[in-house]
Structure 1
Amino acid sequence: MAWFLGLGIAGLVLLVLTLLFDGVLDGLGAGLDEFLSLPVVAGFVSALGFTGSIVLGSTGTGPGVATGAGVVTGVGAAWLTWRFSRTLMRDGATPAPQGEDLTGTSGSVVTAIPPDGYGEVLLFLAGQPVKYAARAAVPVARGAEVWVESVLSPTSVTVRPVQR
């Protein structure tokens, strides 16, 4: 029973080391990184050890039956760990915001916009405040609320004042 408890504890220690030294030892898989990661190995070893210890202590069977039950449970724990880590690692992020996403958004004028030149507006792109150079068909005073009509370049936009 001490061997099984030792395996279970070794698996938990390996899991903690994997979390602390994130990715340091992952290259040791020799091409099996997709299937055989350290968390998967840690799950297998700890499930084998603890299940073997429980089976050996609670039933009167020998170490062979306890090892078989531990292996079955360890394979299940390893598979669940692999599936869970693949789910967490999947890149389901949304695409990065583009300047064209500004069309139709509102902002405020930071530097007054003259009728024949550029001023500055404060817009929010992906929740972050960004200043852009702005043109407008009519003069717009500082502090006025504006709508973005079009994107002229990565740093400039055409705006119109909001009519309330």
Structure 2
Amino acid sequence: MEWFLGLGIAGLVVLALALVFDGILDGLLDGLGGLDGVLSLPAIAGFVSMLGFAGAITLGTTGLGTAFAVGVGVAAGGLAGWLTWRFSQALMRGRTAVAPRGDDLIGGSGTVVTAIPADGYGEVLAYLAGQPVKLAARSTVPLPRGTRVWVESALSATSVAVRPVDH
């Protein structure tokens, strides 16, 4: 039973190391032929750990012997390794939403926070993806502080062209 518990604990230690060193230890599995990508350190750790703990539980609660405990441990370890691999694949394939860009400001509203002269830049507070963004702004007409504006175009990543909102 000590061997089974040792395998279970060793699997947990390897899993903790794989999580702490995030990918550094995965280099140990490179070059294993066609198994690269299928065998990951967390999947191996899950297999070894479950083999050990399931074998120890089986050996301790039944009188069916070591061979039966190994069989149960291998089956439980195989299931745990496969589930770990599938879960990690699902996480790797997961996509996030596209990050907002400056062009997403076009057509949005804002407020002048620093007056905009006719021939220069001022500042506007606009909203991008629900977050306030302070940007340099240019207008064809002078706009005082507090004027509501529409964003006509994105001149750069940090500046926009605006026009006053017609009431």
Which interval holds the TM-score relative to the shorter structure?
A: 0.7 to 0.9
Specify the code of the residue in structure 1 equivalent to 2:12: L
TM-score, structure 2 as length reference: 0.85
Match of 2:113 in 1: 110
> Does the C-alpha gap of structure 1 residues 144 and 79 become closer, same or farther in structure 2, counting only changes over 3 Å?
same
Aligned partner of 2:148: which letter? E
Q: Give the secondary structure class of the aligned counterpart of 1:107.
A: strand
Is the contact made by 1:8 and 1:45 (CA closer than 8 Å) also made in structure 2?
A: yes
For structure 1, the residue ranges without an aligned partner over 5 or more in a row are none
Indicate conservation of the 8 Å contact 1:27/1:33, yes or no: no
Q: How far apart, CA to CA, are the structure 2 residues paired with 1:83 and 1:61? A: 32
**TM superposition shift of 1:33:** 4.1
Query: Aligned-pair distance for 1:26?
Result: 1.0
Structure 1, residues 19-53: CA drift from partner, whole Å, max 9, x if none? 22222211011244411111111100010001111
The residue type equivalent to 2:100 in the other structure is P
Alignment length (residue pairs):
163
RMSD, aligned CA: 2.1
Contact 2:125 2:132 in 1 (8 A): no
| Distance (whole Å) between structure 1 residues aligned to residue 144 and residue 165 of structure 2 | 12
Partner of 2:139: 135
Task: Output aligned runs, 1:50-61, within 5 Å.
Answer: 50-61=53-64
Q: How far does residue 153 in structure 1 lie from its aligned partner after superposition?
A: 4.0
Match of 1:12 in 2: 12
Give me the whole-angstrom Cα distance separating, in 2, the residues matched to 1:130 and 1:81.
44
Aligned partners of 1:70 and 1:101: how far apart in 2? 55
User: What is the 5 A alignment of 1:60-75?
Assistant: 60-75=63-78
- In structure 2, how many angstroms separate the alpha carbons of the residues matched to 1:26 and 1:153? 41
Deviations 1:76-130 (A, max 9, x none): 1001111111222225022232221111222221321234443322334343624
Q: Distance in 2 between matches of 1:145 and 1:84?
A: 49
| Identity over aligned pairs, percent | 63
Q: Which moved more, 1:146-155 or 1:76-85?
A: 146-155
**Structure 1 runs of 4+ off > 6 angstroms?**
none
Query: Quick check: 1:122–1:132 contact (8 Å CA) kept in 2?
Result: no
Q: Of 42, 45, 50, which aligns to 2:45?
A: 42
**Secondary structure, aligned partner of 2:139:** strand
Q: CA deviation at 1:17?
A: 1.6
The more displaced of 30-39 and 9-18 is 30-39
Match of 2:99 in 1: 96
